[in-house]
Amino acid sequence: MSDLPERLSLREVGPRDGLQNEEPVPTAGKVALIDALSATGIGRIEAVSFVHPRAIPQMADAGEVWGAVAPAAGVRYSALVPNLRGAERALDAGFAELEVVVSASDTHNRRNLNRSTEESLDDLAAVVDLAHDRAASCQVIVSTAWGCPYEGDVPVERVLSVAGAALRHGADSLSYGDTTGMATPSRVTRLVGETRSAYPDVALNLHFHNTRGTGLANVLAALQLGVADFDASVGGLGGCPYAPGATGNIATEELVHMVEDMGVTTGVDLEAMIDVARQAERLVGRTLPSQVLRAGPRTRTVTATPIREV
């Protein structure tokens, strides 16, 4: 385990990816969640997305949420955008870090963004240029990087070609999204390895959903290849109980709990993150899937009560 990264950069995506896949919650609750996350030691928070309110009503109050958040020193906040209009809104709201999403699967891209992957890649160049003109950075997220619910497996060559186009268009970094939880450790090893061979200097973030229980195993496979940048959502937010098969991201506190015990630093206060997971549960009004939230960290002990003599 000696060649694992010493330190991870984690991005908390519960307020965006999580809440966008839950029943809508009040604006004040979103603001309180982001502010609580800001106090856990996490380095980055994806706060909102600027999407059309008809497409994702859960994010209709993105501007209000961001206007009410108290930005913390030492935390980088970002916004996800689907297109140029969303990028303009995010930049006008004051974000200096954008993420723009394109799907490696054409069918998924059409369902999600109403156009082909090729058309999204053309639009993406304008988004990156606009971000740079306004002194912001722009990450390109390649979603369905390990598979598509409509097309099945997405060939590695296809993902590499979409990633290559994003880099040619000026993307500052890349993220691979396992949107529907189809990644397994061997598939992570292959895609990350081939990405490193094709684009040795790329800054790469990985975004896993725990849909099929392989989330943390996928993280371990990536850690062993030196990947040090992951998304996670507090409590494992994001599996809407009304959308069959929808499952949240890997839970932030589970990721922190595992890697810190392996000697990998995250900067996150685990107990504080567990407290925020409890807050997230109250916010969405349902039990969240995080097992570290249920059981507590492995170092937590209970007081032994004397056995009564009979």
Question: Which residues make up the interface to Zn ion (CB under 5 A)?
Answer: 17
CB of 146 to Zn ion, least distance (A): 12
CB of 199 to Zn ion, least distance (A): 22
**Closer to Zn ion by Cβ: residue 80 or 130:** 80
Answer whether 232's CB lies under 8 Å from 255's CB. yes
Answer whether 263's CB lies under 8 Å from 1's CB. yes
Q: Which long-range contacts (CB under 8 A, 24 or more apart) does 296-301 make?
A: 297/257, 297/270, 297/271, 298/257, 298/261
**Closer to Zn ion by Cβ: residue 98 or 130:** 98
**Closer to Zn ion by Cβ: residue 17 or 97:** 17
**Closer to Zn ion by Cβ: residue 163 or 248:** 248
**What is the biggest distance separating any 2 CA atoms in the chain, rounded to whole angstroms?**
78
CB of 59 to Zn ion, least distance (A): 13
CB of 193 to Zn ion, least distance (A): 23
Burial bucket for residue 170 (CB in 10 Å: 0-12, 13-18, 19+): middle
Query: Residue number with the shortest CB distance to Zn ion?
Result: 17
Residue 223's contacts (CB-CB under 8 Å, 6 or more residues apart) are 4, 5, 259, 262, 264
**Closer to Zn ion by Cβ: residue 17 or 22:** 17
Q: With H, G, I as helix, E, B as strand and everything else as coil, classify residue 305.
A: coil
**Closer to Zn ion by Cβ: residue 17 or 229:** 17
Nearest CA to 113 out of 80, 135, 74, 138 is that of 80
> Where do the DSSP E strands lie in 65-182?
76-81, 97-103, 137-143, 173-178
CB of 134 to Zn ion, least distance (A): 26
Please list the active-site residues. 240
Q: With H, G, I as helix, E, B as strand and everything else as coil, classify residue 49.
A: strand
- Size of the chain in residues: 310
Whose structure tokens read 């799907």?
103
- The H or E element spanning position 231 is strand 229-232
DSSP label at residue 105: S
CB of 299 to Zn ion, least distance (A): 30
